[in-house]
Amino acid sequence: MSATTTRAMRVLLVDDDATFADILARALRRRGLEVVVVHTPDAAIERATAWAPTHALLDLNLNCETSGLALIAPLLDAAPGLRITVLTGYASIATTVAAIQRGAADYLAKPVDAPAVIAALSGHGDDAAEPAVEAPGQRMSLKRLEWEHIQRVLAEHDGNISEAARSLGLHRRTLQRKLDKRPVKF
């Protein structure tokens, strides 16, 4: 990717993890991108409206009642033509599909490095966004099936943990504990 292409990118980075966001923003700025970091959904919509970014990096699990999935449509309304890449430490097939259906252009699992992010932002990282899928003839473990089901139900409830917990027949704190764990392997 050329320097002129990256200089034209105005990236809105929405992540509640200030340390991660600052490190990633610095790495992207060193590569010539213009980056603004926000940590809340309200700040994201406000900056998208005022600043008109060309790209957005959106954390899926923001530490508030709003999921990154629910923020996709308002961001697209605030900045038409915005290319959104969803970042998450809790990748699942269900959330990948939900993000793409809502208008995200790409989906990356954390940890992720600056070159992979730039490739996704520019549309050259489409293969890297694929979540891990079971190999032919290999079955998912029971824990992985549970993780995928929880992610699907959470996506159906726009990331609302209380509603998803009710739907799953779990106590909210139990669901929160399950979500705090890393996704299990197949």
List pLDDT tens digits, range 111-157: 788 888 998 888 764 443 344 444 444 555 666 667 777 877 887 88
List pLDDT tens digits, range 55-95: 999 998 887 777 888 899 999 999 989 999 999 877 778 78
Is residue 17 within 8 Å of residue 64, measured between CB atoms? no
Whole-prediction pTM: 0.67
**Residue 172 confidence (pLDDT):** 87
How far is the C-alpha of 53 from the C-alpha of 118, rounded, in Å? 15
How far is the C-alpha of 44 from the C-alpha of 52, rounded, in Å? 11
Structure tokens at 86: 């969803």
**Residue 56 confidence (pLDDT):** 96
- SS3 assignment, position 113: coil
Structure tokens at 29: 């700025």
Q: Which domains does the chain have, with CATH numbers?
A: 3-122 (3.40.50.2300), 142-180 (1.10.10.60)
Structure tokens at 92: 């699942």
